[in-house]
A and B are shown apart, each in its own frame.
Chain A
Amino acid sequence: MSSLSVNHLLGIKQLSKSDIELILSTAKNFKEVLNRPIKKVPSLRDITVANLFFENSTRTRLSFELAQKRLSADVVNFSASNSSVKKGETLVDTVNNILAMKVDILVMRHASPGAAIFLSRKVNAKIINAGDGAHEHPTQALLDAFSIQEKLGTLKGKKVVIVGDILHSRVALSNIFCLQKLGAEVKVCGPQTLIPKYISALGVAVEPDLRKALEWCDVANMLRIQLERQDIKYFPSLREYTMMYGLNKELLDSLSKKIIVMHPGPINRGVEITSDVADSKQSIILEQVENGVAVRMAVMFLLAGRQN
């Protein structure tokens, strides 16, 4: 169990349970490194990483870049808005041009589902999926699992509910795969229109009532309503959504046990979660961000260490 079974991190679906466990245990070591006076190790000093962000991002991009710098890798950044993609260059051409400059690892976010998998078949570099449309966001799922594990000790037998816009969420899908592989039970909660049709095929139950879902779970992962992906109206108004699926302090305090509240960010305060919940002791939102760097360091360290 000392090496990953994959050459790329395309999605959680492609990982085995022992791959996930290896990433999480390596991340623990990197978290310790991040708490040292000098937060940098020379492991990837001969590696060049390109961050390709065809879609907007703050957290993921910063987190990846920090992780790369703390591993001493050389980093080049690319965002679609000020590049030749606008001039009509194809994805494979863009990437092959970047690779011609001797890049070893690509971190890519793209609006099209499957973009990372497509690329992994076309080009000769290690690819890390940093989000492909509404498909997968594996490092987010890994850092969520790491954060839950840190709080609860283990994921086995734990109950996690994912609340909100499941249909448009890559975080939801990756989380479902990851949590299930680690032995946790997953339910989703949200308006019928935002629950994917085939969710039961994943072994995930739907609980339409937020209070019941919260009473059942140990951890609640509150997702953002992804208005930018919603081409039609899925619910009458944000206000109504908030009333039915928003988590507020009153509801949180009325539960019979203290659950953990997570959010992958960015938060729309007052919509899916109120400010006092986001800033409460039960929320681990900022821990998730902190752990994100350690988890991404682990992923890159393990992928770079794989012999071809």
Chain B
Amino acid sequence: MKTKILLDKVLFDITLKRMAHQLIEVHNDFSETVIIGLQPRGIYLARRIQNELQGILKTNSILCGDLDITFHRDDFRKKELIPSRTNIDFVIEDKNVVLVDDVLFTGRTIRAGLDALIDFGRPRDIELMVLVDRRFSRNVPIQAKYTGITVDSISSQNVKVEWKETDGKDKVTLVDK
């Protein structure tokens, strides 16, 4: 099994900081913007970005929620899925929503995420942020506005994102199956 490191600890950190600054350029003080991470793995990026933003903006009032999309997936009869928690304890009506996930691959998860999100109200605007964009592999016309790193990969490869919170270290690797 061949592996290639795409982001090590240092680059990982720089990438998160850069994405946070890109968000600030568009959303200023985040008074009209909320962050929503997609379960199960997008929530870590969402929380990290929330932390970065709160550090830079010296505030602790940036709203961040978790969204589970299991019930909205189009492939739930093709593989076994375990739902996770949805936790959005604020109103998204008329807000700018930054939807956050770790890897953008076929785009189907994001498609389901958009559907699931609309159940909570009508946001003014929805943007997509991902840590890793596996380009040229989309099944649906979806692109991210903020991207940590873009990789060229084939479907027999896996992008593995590890988080300090659950895996002990921050790292992104490309793995040949």
Closest chain A CB from B70 CB (angstroms): 7
Which B residues touch A40, using CB under 8 A?
119
Cβ proximity bits A292-308 to B, threshold 8 Å, 1 near / 0 not: 00000000010011010
Q: Which residues of the other chain, A, contact B78 by a CB distance below 8 angstroms? A: 307
Question: What is the bound-complex CA distance between A307 and B80, given in angstroms?
Answer: 9
Measured CA separation A21–B121 after assembly (Å): 32
B171 to chain A, nearest CB (A): 27
User: Which residue in B70, B85, B120 is a CB contact (below 8 Å) of A38?
Assistant: B120
Partner of B120, one of A29, A36, A42, A305: A36
Chain A nearest CB, measured from B32 CB (Å): 19
Is there contact, CB below 8 Å, between B120 and A43?
no
The answer to whether B68 and A29 touch across the interface, beta carbons within 8 angstroms, is yes
Bound: A36/B115 CA distance, A? 13
The reply to whether B86 and A38 contact each other, CB–CB distance below 8 Å, is: no
Q: Which of A2, A29, A30, A71 has the most CB of B within 10 A?
A: A29
Q: Say how far A41's CB is from chain B's closest CB, in angstroms.
A: 4
Whole-angstrom CA separation of A10 from B120 in the bound complex: 35
Which applies to chain A's interface (DSSP): helix, strand, loop or mixed? loop
Q: Which residue of A lies closest to B88 (CB)?
A: A36
- What interface size band does chain A fall in? 10 to 19
Q: Does B14 sit within 8 A of A, measured CB to CB?
A: no
Q: Are B86 and A29 in contact, with the CB atoms below 8 A?
A: yes
User: Which interface residue of A41, A71, A301 has the most chain B CB atoms within 10 A?
Assistant: A41
Asked whether B72 lies within 8 Å of A42 as measured between CB atoms, the reply is yes
Q: Shortest distance in angstroms between B148's beta carbon and chain A's nearest beta carbon?
A: 29
Q: Which of A28-74 contact B (CB under 8 A)?
A: 29-30, 32-33, 36-38, 40-43, 71
A32 B86 Cβ-Cβ under 8 A: yes
A45 to chain B, nearest CB (A): 10
Q: List 25 A-B contacts (CB under 8 A).
A: A2-B81, A26-B83, A29-B68, A29-B70, A29-B71, A29-B85, A29-B86, A32-B86, A33-B71, A36-B120, A37-B119, A37-B120, A38-B119, A41-B72, A41-B116, A41-B119, A42-B71, A42-B115, A71-B71, A301-B71, A305-B77, A305-B80, A305-B81, A307-B77, A307-B78
Nearest 9 A-B pairs (CB), nearest first? A41-B71, A38-B119, A29-B83, A2-B80, A43-B71, A3-B80, A2-B82, A36-B119, A32-B86
